[in-house]
A = this chain, B = another copy of it.
Amino acid sequence: MAQSPDSGGRDTSRDGPGNVREFKMLTSYGPVWKLIQMQPGLDRIVNGKLIDRASSKMPYRPNPNSTFSAYTSWAALTDRTYWSRHLPAPEEVPTDLPDPEEVAKLFVREEGKFEASDKSTVLFSYFAQWFTDGFLRSDRADPPYYNKNDSNHEIDLMQIYGLTREVTEQLRQHDGGLLKFQMINGEEYPPYAYDAGGNKKPEFSRVPDAPTKLRPDFSPEELSKFFAVGSDTANLQLGFVLMNVLFFREHNRVARVLAGKYPGWDDDRLFETARNVLIVLLIKIVVEEYINHITPYHFGFRANPASFKNPPWYRPNWMSVEFNLVYRWHPLVPDSYRIAGEDVAIADTLYETESLTANGLGQLFEDASNQAAGRIGLFNTPSVLGPVQAWSVEKGRAVALAGYNDYRELCGYPRVTAFNQISGDPRVQKGLEQLYGTVDRIEFFTGLYSEDLRPNSVLPSLIGRMVGIDAFSQAFTNPLLAPRIFTEKTFSPAGMQVIQTTNTLSDILHRNIPDPNKRFVGMTRRDWKRRRG
């Protein structure tokens, strides 16, 4: 049985020699990579090549199949209210799979056994959940349609602007390009959507309602503190609230900058140009902070559209049902949140905005950056989120996904033949064996989270690869990055300067808080030391 020093006892014989070589190349030779990045021309080319490579690990869109029909049909090729799928449903789906509740037990964290990620902070988990909510949008109808979504399939910052123009209109101040706002303790926030009596304000009639399907018993007092923001998840959990307020403030800040620079512009033009800038800022954060945090590589990816010339993966976006399951990172959630010096239970961070307005945005970003998130993998999901994992298993079955091994093959990994090729952890091996008997029966969702992390990686291998493909190939296709559109004409010279001087959430935060002191704000743990060379 082949074992590498990093494998922690895992049999690495099915990792695939090409994959091992690539991983080694990208995680070794630190000084060489550094040198490359110091030369702008070379940096741009290597950036393009590596992203090209990452985006080409699966066949390119358009996919012949969606969740609309088991065969190729016109709706399956065009109706994006269904999910695209990377693999069609297998001819035969196993019928005797274990109870989803039993599978969920494999995910759940034992009482008091939180395993921290040695790399990621809570800020990373907040950002991941909030960012993906912008496009991985399961149909929230009741009963849920596992095969449907209400996504716009673009990074469009619907989190603050809403899914439709009707919502955007209601959120706009219609003056100076601004979003409607209120001031609380000297800081800028979106207005509340409900009045003190808990009634929705008529001006926000089209803004998503409080999620009364998830919790039907909001008091008027609770309702009256819900912000009017674009997404139906806007007030769901503190992380959403923080991110929404940050990007909301940046929108208004950019609009004011533009209004100062271009006094002839009307409200519409200021608003639209600020939005153009904001969407690209989000893409910059995604590539340059978020993805670079996730990967264990030396090379830092850049959101530089000039790196590409007509890549073959530049095809219309269409979120896949697999991407949706790849992105269920509930193990990131700690047992409780540390907020302004106090431990707050998960439940107490739901459906509330007052811990933010009381403490201010800077404090809460710093708190989230000082707390470690959980390690992604089995046996580390907070027990309160166990039912969500069972739901994910059910979803995978409802749309008849192919098995874990099929997706390995699709993504260029050899099929595994033994449980110890997935994880070196005997508990994982035993758990999988008891549930599935043989490796070929392991489901996609379970398999994804059963793999061991590799050194310095935030994600197991297959998740990492699939995130890379779907993220790169759907972020760089944003029309704002297209060659004829990524110009000063689109963003204004002032807007382009904002884009060029933004690389991290910290950059955005520090220009949107009253407190002049520099705070530690980051997705990577302050105490994380790269173990390299």
Q: Decide if A480 touches B272 in the complex (CB within 8 Å).
A: no
Q: Which residues of A65-124 have CB atoms within 8 Å of chain B's CB atoms?
A: 69, 71-79
In the complex, the chain B residue whose C-beta lies closest to that of A313 is B310
The answer, yes or no, to whether A489 is at the interface (CB within 8 Å) is: yes
**Could you give, for residues 32-76 of chain A, a 1 whenever the CB lies within 8 Å of some chain B CB and a 0 otherwise?**
000000000000000000000000000110111000010111111
Instruction: Assess whether A418 is interfacial by the CB under 8 Å rule.
Output: no
Tell me how far the C-beta of A179 lies from the nearest C-beta in chain B, rounded to whole angstroms. Answer: 14
A165 at the interface (CB under 8 A from B): yes
A79 (CB) vs chain B CBs: closest residue: B165
Among candidates B64, B275, B479, residue contacting A485 with C-beta atoms closer than 8 Å = B64
| Interface size class, chain A | 35 or more
Interface residues of A in 269-301 (CB under 8 A from B): 269, 272-273, 275-276, 279
Cβ of A482 under 8 Å from chain B? yes
Residues of B within 8 A of A161 (CB): 74
A272, B310: Cβ atoms under 8 Å? no
With the chains together, A367 CA to B433 CA distance in Å? 73
Smallest CB separation, A172 vs chain B (Å): 13
Q: How far is the CB of A212 from chain B (nearest CB, A)?
A: 29
The interface centre, meaning the residue of A77, A276, A315, A489 with most chain B CB atoms within 10 A of its CB, is A77
Encode contact with B along A203-229: 1 for CB under 8 Å, 0 otherwise: 000000000000000000000000000
A440 at the interface (CB under 8 A from B): no
A268 within 8 A of partner (CB): yes
Q: Which B residues touch A73, using CB under 8 A?
A: 268, 272-273, 275-276
Interface membership of A316, Cβ < 8 A = yes
What's the Cα separation between A31 and B166 when bound, in Å? 60
Contact A484 B64 (CB under 8 A): yes
When distances are taken between beta carbons in the complex, the residues of chain B under 8 Å from A437 are: none
Known: A310-B310, A310-B312, A316-B316. A479 touches B272 (CB 8 A): no
Q: Evaluate contact between A484 and B268: CB separation under 8 angstroms.
A: no
Minimum distance in angstroms from A86 CB to a CB of chain B: 11
Q: How far is the CA of A73 from the CA of B156 in the complex (A)?
A: 11
Q: Which of A426-485 contact B (CB under 8 A)?
A: 479-480, 482, 484-485
Bound Cα distance from A126 to B73, whole angstroms: 28
Say whether, besides A62-B485, A316-B316, A154 and B72 are in contact (CB < 8 Å): no
Contact A490 B64 (CB under 8 A): yes
A269 CA / B76 CA spacing, docked (Å) = 12
Residues of chain B within 8 A (CB-CB) of A154 are 78
Contact of A275 among B74, B310, B316, B484 (CB under 8 A): B74
Give Cα distance in the complex from A133 to B161, angstroms: 34
**Contact yes or no, B273 A77, CB < 8 A:** no
User: How far in angstroms is the closest Cβ of chain B from A77?
Assistant: 4
Check A63–B484 contact: CB distance below 8 A. Answer: yes
A480 contacts across to B, CB distance below 8 A:
74, 77
CA distance A372 to B72 in the complex (A): 41
Indicate if the CB atoms of B74 and A272 lie closer than 8 Å: yes
- Whole-angstrom distance between the alpha carbons of A152 and B489 in the complex? 29
Q: Is B74's CB under 8 angstroms from A490's CB? A: no
User: What is the CA–CA distance of A269 and B74 in the complex, to the nearest angstrom?
Assistant: 11
Least CB distance from A466 to B in Å reads 18
Q: How far is the CA of A72 from the CA of B478 in the complex (A)?
A: 14
| A77:B479 contact, CB within 8 angstroms | yes
Q: Are A156 and B275 in contact (CB under 8 A)?
A: no
Picked from B72, B165, B269, the residue with its CB within 8 Å of the CB of A490 is B72
Q: Nearest Cβ distance between residue A143 and chain B, in whole angstroms?
A: 21
Which of B78, B156, B269, B479 sits near A71, CB closer than 8 Å?
B269
Determine whether the beta carbon of A479 is less than 8 Å from that of B156: no
Contact in complex: A156, B74 (CB < 8 Å) = yes
A residues with CB within 8 A of B: 59-60, 62-64, 69, 71-79, 152, 154, 156, 161, 165, 268-269, 272-273, 275-276, 279, 310, 312, 314-316, 479-480, 482, 484-485, 487, 489-490
What are some 23 contacts across the A-B interface (CB < 8 A)? A63-B484, A64-B484, A64-B487, A64-B489, A64-B490, A69-B272, A71-B273, A71-B489, A72-B489, A72-B490, A73-B276, A74-B161, A74-B272, A74-B275, A74-B276, A74-B279, A74-B480, A75-B165, A76-B272, A77-B485, A78-B152, A78-B479, A79-B165
Q: Given A71-B272, A316-B316, 14 more contacts at CB 8 Å?
A: A59-B484, A60-B484, A62-B479, A63-B484, A64-B484, A64-B487, A71-B269, A71-B489, A73-B272, A74-B156, A74-B279, A75-B165, A77-B480, A79-B165
Shortest 8 CB-CB contacts between residues of A and residues of B: A73-B272, A77-B479, A72-B490, A310-B312, A316-B316, A62-B479, A64-B485, A62-B482
